[in-house]
Amino acid sequence: MPMKILIAADTYYPHVNGASYFAQRLAFYLKKQGHEVLAIAPSDTLDFKMGQHDGVDIFGVRSLPVFFYKGFRFSPPVMIRKRIEDKIREFNPDVVHVQSHFFVCRTVAAAARKLGIPVMGTNHFMPENLVHYLHFPKKPEQWVKNWAWRGFRKVFDQLDYVTTPTQTAADLLIKTGFDKPVLAISCGIDLERFKPESVEKIDEVRRLYKLQNKPTFLYVGRLDKEKNVDYVLKAMALAKGKADFQYVIVGKGTETEPLKELTKQLGLESSVVFTGFVPDDKLPDLYQASDIFVIAGIAELQSIVTMEAMASGLPILAVNAMALPELCLDSENGYRFEMGNEDALSEKMIGLATDSELRKKMSEKSLQIIQKHDIRKTIPQFEALYKTMMKK
């Protein structure tokens, strides 16, 4: 039976991050299943306005710019509370699904509870993704992290169900003192969109992005400090002269210019390609034109881009941190590495760049592992939770 589902998010299209992509894709696939879906998220101005993305209606609420992160906006509750409650009454959803504990989501959750509508939440939050922008000394930074987790618990303690993308992420919530049951449900990946392609397609993509015909390492995502792309560049410099490969960096962020400058300092200009932002519909092409995916982000509660790479048949080089070990099985579909040991990462890069048979073996394992993350398996899990909430 079709449901009316309201999805609230503090980061949504056109924001480029995992939480935004998850909310967008959840809304899209729920709509595709025949449900009526409304998203509520910050607008790009001080105005309230209706919009649409991928066929999903979006109620944009008035917002202000985030001074320390260009392109992001936030919506103080005092500016949005009444209009959000009015919109919820008008849409009259069967369930509400919030994607964070920040301003929009906490305001939506409070209004829904007031109106007797069941609410569930998915956590994508780690303080590490935010505090480095504030440049606090270590002790105040820890205080800010603890304060942030208290804010999370205050909102999510009130919800009917709580999910998070991985068991690692669920365990993290328990460690912070959150004592409600947490269900681990993968963000999911569309295995019909992300898959290995033909040689002809690969040649076309390489011409488009001016890539050389050599082993290609790929990174896709935000270019921000916690992603540690600089660490990979330094490891690559150590491999110079021992293996011939290129590194394609897809995305943008606060570290774009510093990373380009570091590339010059390391003498890697001829082997590193910065593509800038690439639209979501073009990303499968770049995965298909690459050979190995490398990710050094230390605050990944799952990593949608790593799953996209696996679905495209790429071996994975992943830092041994947070939930990445759930996707990268060491010496099976790739290698894990430790931060602080650039020599070891460099050796792993050389090994993968120079051994096509090893890449083929690890590629097959990536394709095998990713099957359980098929979005056609994860969306029904959310639908089942919504139906359970409606019966309470």
CA distances from 50 to 38, 59, 371 (A): 10, 5, 37
User: Which residues constitute the domain of residue 119?
Assistant: 4-188+374-391
Q: Domain check: are 166 and 30 in the same one?
A: yes
Task: Give yes or no: residues 127 and 213 share one domain.
Answer: no
Let me know: does 231 contact 296? Beta carbons within 8 Å.
yes
In this structure, the answer to whether residues 206 and 180 fall within a common structural domain is no
380 and 367 in one domain?
no
Q: Residues 126-135: contacts with CB within 8 Å, 24+ apart?
A: 126/172, 126/299, 126/301, 126/322, 128/226, 128/298, 128/299, 129/226, 129/299, 132/224, 132/225, 132/226, 133/68, 133/69, 133/254, 134/68
Pair (155, 225) in one structural domain: no
Let me know: does 274 contact 223? Beta carbons within 8 Å: no
210 lies in the same domain as 294: yes
Both 217 and 286 in one domain: the answer is yes
156-176 burial code (b ≥16 CB/10 A, e <16): beebbbbbbbbebbbebbeee
- Each residue of 209-244: b (16+ CB within 10 Å) or e? eebeeebbbbbbbbbbbbbbbbbbbbbbbbbeeebe
- What pLDDT, on the 0 to 100 scale, is given for residue 69? 62
Please check whether residue 126 is in contact with residue 100, taking contact to mean a CB–CB distance below 8 angstroms: no
One domain, residues 122 and 19? yes
* Number of Cβ within a 10 Å radius of residue 391: 6
145 and 267 housed in the same domain: no
3 state SS of 245? coil
Q: Which DSSP state fits 62?
A: P
Question: Which contacts qualify for 189-193: CB closer than 8 Å, 24 or more apart?
Answer: 189/304, 189/307, 189/308, 189/310, 189/311, 189/370, 189/373, 189/374, 189/375, 190/25, 190/311, 190/374, 190/375, 191/311, 191/370, 191/371, 191/374, 191/375, 191/376, 193/284
- Separation of alpha carbons 329 and 335, rounded Å: 7
Residues 220, 120 share a domain: no
Looking at the chain, list the stretches that DSSP marks H as alpha helix, in order from N- to C-terminal side.
18-32, 77-91, 103-114, 138-156, 167-175, 199-208, 229-239, 256-265, 283-288, 304-311, 324-327, 342-354, 356-369, 375-391
Residues 101, 217: one domain? no
Q: Has residue 101 been placed in a domain?
A: yes
Terminal C-alpha separation, the chain: 17
CATH of the domain at 111: 3.40.50.2000
Contacts of 191 (CB under 8 A, 6+ apart): 311, 370, 371, 374, 375, 376
- Rounded to whole angstroms, the Cα distance separating 36 from 93 reads 9
Same-domain pairing of 37 and 182: yes
pTM over 0.85: yes
Tell me the backbone φ, ψ of residue 330, rounded to 5 degrees.
Answer: -55, 125
pLDDT of residue 139: 59
pLDDT in tens, the chain (392 residues): 899 999 999 999 988 788 999 999 999 999 999 999 999 999 999 999 999 999 999 999 999 987 666 767 888 889 999 999 999 999 999 999 999 999 999 999 999 999 999 999 999 987 665 545 555 555 566 677 777 788 899 999 999 999 999 999 999 999 888 999 999 999 999 999 999 876 677 888 888 899 999 999 999 999 998 899 999 999 999 998 899 999 999 999 889 999 999 999 999 999 999 999 998 888 999 999 999 999 999 999 999 999 999 999 999 999 999 999 999 999 999 999 999 999 999 999 999 999 999 999 999 999 999 999 999 999 999 999 999 999 87
Cis peptide, bond prior to residue 14, ω within 30 of zero: yes
Number of domains present in the structure of the chain: 2
